[in-house]
Structure 1
Amino acid sequence: MTTHVSTSVCIIGSGPSGLLLSQLLANAGVDTIVLDRRDRAYIEGRIRAGVLEQGTVTALEEAGVAERCHREGLVHDGFDLSFDGERHRIDLKGLTGKTVTVYGQTEVTKDLFDRRFAEDQRFYFNVDNVTPTDLKSDSPKVRFTHEGEEIEISCDYVAGCDGYHGVSRQAIPADTLRTFERVYPFGWLGIMVEKPPVSHELIYAHHERGFALASQRSKTRSRYYIQCDLDDDVSDWSDERFWEELALRLGPDTAADLQTGPSFEKSIAPLRSFVAEPMRYGNMFLAGDAAHIVPPTGAKGLNLAVADVRLLSRALIEHYTKGNDAYIDSYSETVLTRVWKVERFSWQLSTLMHQFPENSPFEKRMQRAEFDFTASSEAASRAIAENYVGLPLE
């Protein structure tokens, strides 16, 4: 027997993009159901990005979940690029008038979950066999299994916020979907440690042994990364080995202030650039990692997903409150235009700051020339700053 349920918008995926979309729609009186193949505890426990664009903070304000972010988040006016020990500060506030906020994606997810549960949002966790169907009809359906029961949700629209490995993008026919991908020949080894950060602002470092990033989550919790081989195993990297390599890549002046200690999280993440087109198929929309992936060098993954959701929520709210479908009809084109610009920036910064095994001596010199130009040109620094704080929504 199948249980039939109905809603206005069925949201597949309860990561930050799905939760934010649900909250923004709820604020406008639009009913949603959110489902996920994992449970809340697992989703909240995932370690992800921590740099929020000003527009992302605005979205949290619009959703009514920004209070803790404002209280605990660290506002940054700039960050450093380091190339073979030479530092250049990108003055975000001075060049753009805007800032970024360091506040972990895990915390954003917790804040959204708290608000959605307080408002009795309908969730289905630990679901299996999720299948979106009838997507080109006026009544799409999402079928799945929950606690041994077959459930079918009838809705007006489906929002695929279920990440790169989710089912939503796979529901678009192969003769319609186009994908574009660049897989990078290295990964990031990252650790979390309960120690004050080495710098009050982030440091992106290029070194002959590979890239390094000094980041943070709070005044007492640090997040560090180093470029590593794709076939490296986390077990090969003791804390001692990691600290030695990080100190070398950051340089002696910076490393003098580095406080080391036992890590409580350590993982290796591959890097890729990926875009799927279109981001609408019938009455299903893709948002976030379901449609695109960026390398983490530019801190754009979460921010790009939030921008998608802000545009998608506007489109759906206009439909339900005013009968205006102009934003729905232009959603894919509008979002993809912005997505490709953000992909370009993340690819550009990744290309500048990493060691690529296939790079010739000429290409390595070009990396150095690019850094020197950026350090000597206010216009070049402003271009990086404008992208880093976040491009306009459209």
Structure 2
Amino acid sequence: MRTTVGIIGGGPAGLLLARLLHRTGVDCVVLEARTREYVEQRQRAGMLEQGTVDALHEAGAAERLHAEGLIHQGIELRFDRERHHIDFPTLTGGRTVTIYAQTEIVKDLVALQLAEGPRLLFEAEALAIEKPDSESPVVRFRHEGREQTLACDWVVGCDGFHGIARDTFPDTLGRTYERDYPYSWLGILADVAPSCEELIYARGQGGFALHSMRSPHVSRLYLQVPNGTDTEDWSDDRIWDELADRFAIDADWTLRRGPITAKSVTPMRSFVHEPMRYGRLLLAGDAAHIVPPTGAKGLNLAVSDVRVLARAFAELRRTKSEQLLDSYSDMCLARVWQATRFSYDMTKMLHAQPDRDVFENRLQLARLRRIAASRHAAAELAANYTGLPLLM
């Protein structure tokens, strides 16, 4: 098999890149190790920056997003039993965010790709990337019970944190920076209408809580829990009681409760790999960087990587220039580090410290009060949350 761009990973980053390349006439093949059903059912992020919405529109994959996505004008911060609204359009010159589940994005992209191309292979496990520093890299993969090869001009690793692409980098070239956090998120999906019109970020006595949603009828909520937490230790009633306690304010507001359909525990980590290119192998999304979900940046960072790559490959096809590809790593890492900083700051500000450090507790409250009282501080949060501009 032969193609111009071999894409490893059929998550949102790989699928979106394939669609954008296809629409500019660049040939590509996507290899996805899992089944279609598995890929379309993975529960992930759902908050989209405007740049992500724009990218889906460019890919011709925004029809259902525009019909079903929930546009949010801001977020609400809760602490000390108070509520404070952060108005995004007022603070950013009109920018908003959109709630649309990653599972739905993947379904939209898969349906388009299977109907119109380019080629997408499920249950195609990438085994190795050979000669990535040559002009003709090769991906060895297993599909339909036999080993095959995909010869490429370029390879893009969109295969996540545990994929093979990043491990292909020589130890002498790659360097990683990481931080593990001393807490996790217990996340639930519930068949109940959201109790809010916009996301609530709460810092309660028991720790952090987030109220999000997937649709007007499905709520997505999270609780800060200790690392190593087992979902079996948290009954439905215990979860709802703890959520109600952390969201509590001195005002007339009630948390709606309903049947919980899914529970999961997510560890918190910051991770950045530098560089994001080795020869003709490029990394995008979780293969290169991971942020804690507090800042809602993971999916959006992957999409910004893909937008840069799509434009770089389009320029290469049009002008034979590799200038954008040569600057890809530096350009993306500048944005990655800003998003990493923002996600770290949000995480540290909103989560209770396991060691119950009283001094740190007072600093967290001071940061929150600064945002609530200062337009400048609120505008800084709003600008980062809605998405920094893509510099090309």
Q: Same fold (TM over 0.5)?
A: yes
- Residue 209, structure 1, aligned to residue 195, structure 2: no
2:79 alignment partner, one of 62, 65, 83? 83
2:179 alignment partner, one of 175, 178, 182? 182
1:237 alignment partner, one of 230, 234, 237? 234
The 5 A counterparts of 1:211-360 are: 211-252=208-249, 256-358=253-355, 360=357
**Is the 2:76–2:84 Cα contact (8 Å) retained in structure 1?**
yes
The 5 A counterparts of 1:49-198 are: 49-96=45-92, 97-128=94-125, 130-198=127-195
Structure 2 residue identity aligned to 1:74: L
Structure 2 residue identity aligned to 1:119: E
**For residues 304 and 191 of structure 1, what CA distance do their matches in structure 2 show?**
24
1:45 alignment partner, one of 37, 41, 58? 41
Secondary structure of the residue aligned to 2:269 is strand
Judging changes above 3 Å, is the alpha-carbon distance between structure 1 residues 363 and 256 closer, same or farther for their aligned structure 2 residues? same
**For residues 91 and 309 of structure 2, what CA distance do their matches in structure 1 show?**
30
Structure 2 residue identity aligned to 1:357: P
**For residues 84 and 30 of structure 1, what CA distance do their matches in structure 2 show?**
54
CA apart distance, 1:357: 1.4
Secondary structure of the residue aligned to 1:391 is coil
Judging changes above 3 Å, is the alpha-carbon distance between structure 1 residues 236 and 254 closer, same or farther for their aligned structure 2 residues? farther
Secondary structure of the residue aligned to 2:313 is helix
Secondary structure of the residue aligned to 1:162 is coil
**Is the 1:26–1:32 Cα contact (8 Å) retained in structure 2?**
yes
Secondary structure of the residue aligned to 2:215 is coil
CA apart distance, 1:299: 0.7
**For residues 129 and 321 of structure 1, what CA distance do their matches in structure 2 show?**
30
List alignment gaps of at least 5 residues for structure 2.
none
CA apart distance, 1:120: 3.3
- Residue 28, structure 1, aligned to residue 24, structure 2: yes
Secondary structure of the residue aligned to 1:136 is coil
Q: Deviations over 1:235-257 (max 9, x none)?
A: 11111110000000000557842
Structure 1 residue identity aligned to 2:84: H
Secondary structure of the residue aligned to 2:19 is helix
**For residues 250 and 111 of structure 2, what CA distance do their matches in structure 1 show?**
43
Residues 169-178 or 82-91, more deviating = 82-91
**Is the 1:247–1:255 Cα contact (8 Å) retained in structure 2?**
no
CA apart distance, 1:84: 2.4
Judging changes above 3 Å, is the alpha-carbon distance between structure 1 residues 307 and 371 closer, same or farther for their aligned structure 2 residues? same
Structure 1 residue identity aligned to 2:109: L
**For residues 129 and 347 of structure 1, what CA distance do their matches in structure 2 show?**
32
**Is the 2:192–2:259 Cα contact (8 Å) retained in structure 1?**
no
Structure 1 residue identity aligned to 2:366: A
**For residues 133 and 356 of structure 1, what CA distance do their matches in structure 2 show?**
45
Judging changes above 3 Å, is the alpha-carbon distance between structure 1 residues 238 and 333 closer, same or farther for their aligned structure 2 residues? same
Structure 2 residue identity aligned to 1:364: N
**Is the 1:192–1:224 Cα contact (8 Å) retained in structure 2?**
yes
Residue aligning to 1:15? 11
Runs of 4 or more consecutive aligned structure 1 residues displaced over 2 Å after TM superposition: 252-257
Structure 2 residue identity aligned to 1:94: T
Structure 1 residue identity aligned to 2:259: P
CA apart distance, 1:258: 1.6
Aligned length: 390
Q: Deviations over 1:320-358 (max 9, x none)?
A: 121121100000000001100000000000010001213
TM-score, normalising length: structure 1? 0.97
Residues 284-293 or 246-255, more deviating = 246-255
**For residues 203 and 348 of structure 2, what CA distance do their matches in structure 1 show?**
10
**For residues 257 and 195 of structure 1, what CA distance do their matches in structure 2 show?**
13
**Is the 2:20–2:310 Cα contact (8 Å) retained in structure 1?**
yes
Q: Deviations over 1:11-40 (max 9, x none)?
A: 000000000000000000111110011011
Report the identity percentage.
52
